[in-house]
Amino acid sequence: MLERWSEELRQKMRGLTLELAGDRAPALEAMARRTDGEFGVDPFGFDPDYALAAMAPFAWLYKNYFRVEVHGIEKVPSGRVFLVANHAGQIPIDGTMLGVAMLLDHDPPRLVRAMTEKWAASLPYVSTIFARAGQIVGTPENCRRLLQMGEAVMVFPEGVPGISKLWPERYHLKSFGLGFMRLALETQTPIVPVGIIGSEEQAPALLNLRSVGKLIGFPALPVTITPIPLPTKYRIYFGDPLTFSGNADDEDTELDKKVRVVKTAVQGLLQQGLEEREHVFW
């Protein structure tokens, strides 16, 4: 009974996604048919058809709530690529909006893989939904494998300190991790810098109860002034692809120089976006 009910829900949500996609629906359906496994999933447990259903609420938010505007999305090359973006907003809506943008506004639709916190793999339901929707636990081995398969991988090198930024720190990038650069050099993966405007104002927080968060097993616990994210207008800017060459095993200081180039590019996109917009909400 439960199974039939969940199958019905899935079909309904899938229909909603296709409705929201409008004239892009056939392209999305074609992508969802790309299932190689006998049991409807790839070796990672990714089920494109499930992803189509799971994205329905995010596609709705994308169209109606955050009213996302994209700039330069055609710059994303085909084949393996890193999308490196700023991270903010207390809950990772920025990632889902970037993912939906690549499905609804990139031609052809592309399902971007995100590398999730290991913590997510220990949560019931979340772990399964993530796996079926193509989101994978963020270990270097997993990332390398996805790039070798020619996938697009989104990276938020600011990590948890980024997403839990407080109000005064908005649009000031935290320090970038180096891991993605090591992998990019090793696999010769181009990097597309991405600036996301809007996410940094969606959930203003004035303090972060990190120690309380730790007690309940959360990586951070920012106290936001609104219970749900505000309907800020999202603007996603894609920069020109950057390619780097060098030794993946270089010292951190060497890698850091290259990472700085990416960080500057992301900061530049944010600057451009902030100058171009006239209002936070529309």
Partner 1 sequence: MSTESRQVVVVTGISGNLGRSLTKQLHRTERIVGLDRRPFAGAPKDVELFQLDLRKKKAEDVFRIHEVKAVIHMGIMHDPRMSAEEHHSFNVVGTTRILDAVAKYGVKKVVVLSSANVYGPSPDNSNFLTEDAPLMAASRFSGVRDLIEVDMLAHGFFWRHPDIETVILRPVHIVGPTIRNAPSNYLRLRHPWVLAGFDPMIQLIHQDDAARAMVEALRPGLRGVYNVVGPGEVPLSAVLRELGRTPIPVPHPLARPLLATLFRYRLANFPPPELDHIQFLCMVDGSRWRSDVGWEPQHSMKDTIRSVDGERAAA
CB 157 within 8 A of CB 265: no
Residue choice 27, 31, 91, 126 for contact with partner 1 (CB under 8 A): 126
Region of 43-51, 68-76, 104-112, 213-221 interacting with partner 1 (CB under 8 A): 43-51
Q: Does 37 engage in binding with partner 1 (CB under 8 A)?
A: yes
What 3-state DSSP class applies to 85? strand
CB of 111 to partner 1, least distance (A): 16
Q: How far is the CB of 129 from partner 1 (least distance, A)?
A: 9
> What is 208-263 written as a DSSP string?
E-HHHHHHTT-S--EEESSSS---PPPEEEE---B---S-TT--HHHHHHHHHHHH
Q: Residue 247 corresponds to which tokens in the numbers above?
A: 């030794």
By CB under 8 A, tell whether 261 contacts partner 1.
no
Three-state DSSP state, 199:
helix
Q: Among 11, 64, 128, 148, indicate the residue that binds partner 1 (CB under 8 A).
A: 128
User: Is residue 153 involved in binding partner 1 (CB under 8 A)?
Assistant: no
Residue 45 within binding range of partner 1, rule CB under 8 A: yes
Nearer Cβ to partner 1, position 49 or 201? Answer: 49
Q: Look at the chain and count its residues.
A: 282
The two structure tokens encoding residue 94: 């920025």
CB of 125 to partner 1, least distance (A): 4
Single out the segment in contact with partner 1 by CB under 8 A; choices: 25-33, 135-143, 161-169, 263-271: 135-143
Q: Which is nearer to partner 1, 125 or 282 (CB)?
A: 125
Shortest reach from residue 103's CB to partner 1, in Å: 23
Beta strand spans in 58-198 (E): 69-71, 81-85, 113-116, 136-137, 152-155, 191-197
Alpha carbons 196 and 236: distance in angstroms, whole number:
5
Binding site for partner 1 (CB under 8 A): 37-41, 43-45, 118-119, 121-128, 131, 136-137, 139, 141-142, 145
